[in-house]
Amino acid sequence: MRVLHFLAASAVGALPLVKPVVADDCKTVTPLSDVDLTEFLRATWYTQQQQVVKFQSTDDLYCVAATYALENRTVPFFDGLVISVYNYATEDEVNGEPQNTADGMVLCARLEDANITGKLAVSPCWLPNIAAAPYWIVAIHADDDGKYDWAVISGGQPTELQDDGGCTTSTGSYAGGLWIFSRDPVASNQTLADAQAAAVDLGISLAELNDVPQDGCTYDGALIKPN
């Protein structure tokens, strides 16, 4: 299973992350300071589009789901909030071989600054924060009932200028990535367009995004929190 690739990638990447050099034409992107984490964690998020990262190739971009939970986990040398991260995907096709089920690898997201609730850092739970990759909630939307329905996640500050005039994080890096999330497994065209527009307004390029098929996914073995 390719989750083993993530384990290997984490071991290789378990060094202090170097601050990226930002192209002059890239806008400064900052994580949101007022994310309601209780609401963010309430239900599973389904990836609609995402950028390839070192631990997840295009072959794994099917039925991708992320579920977050508070389970009293701890990480080395840190006494702040730690969130369990259950990532799920299938390989090669919708409902293909699961890449990480609920009883598989759990990552830890750390809230390093309680005043910036959209600024998380993620890595395997045995690694300290210095080796964790940035995971920033940079745009999010709530419906009329106050429930989040889409979100844009960036793996830190976008650094590389693209032909569309926006910038993105380094494709294929250990620390990087771009995700468009929806609470619905298959987002409406309007939801996807709104999330994309929010990213573009921040100066984030969509050029490296890949569609993630969700139609027909059964999420066998995944930890799913209903919306």
> What pLDDT band is residue 57 in, cutting at 50, 70 and 90?
confident
DSSP 70: -
Predicted pLDDT of residue 172: 52
User: How remote is the C-alpha of 52 from its chain's centroid?
Assistant: 11
Is residue 113 over pLDDT 50? yes
pTM: 0.91
Predicted pLDDT of residue 11: 42
Do 160 and 196 meet the contact criterion of CB atoms below 8 Å apart?
no
Which H or E element spans position 37? Answer: helix 37-40
Q: What percent of the chain has pLDDT over 70?
A: 88
| Backbone phi, psi, residue 63, to 5° | 55, 40
Q: What is the dihedral of CA 66, 33, 110, 80, to 10 degrees?
A: -140
More confident residue, 33 or 52: 33
* Domains identified in the chain and CATH numbers: 3-16+24-211 (2.40.128.20)
Q: Minimum mean pLDDT among 53-57, 73-77, 85-89: which range?
A: 53-57
Predicted pLDDT of residue 20: 61
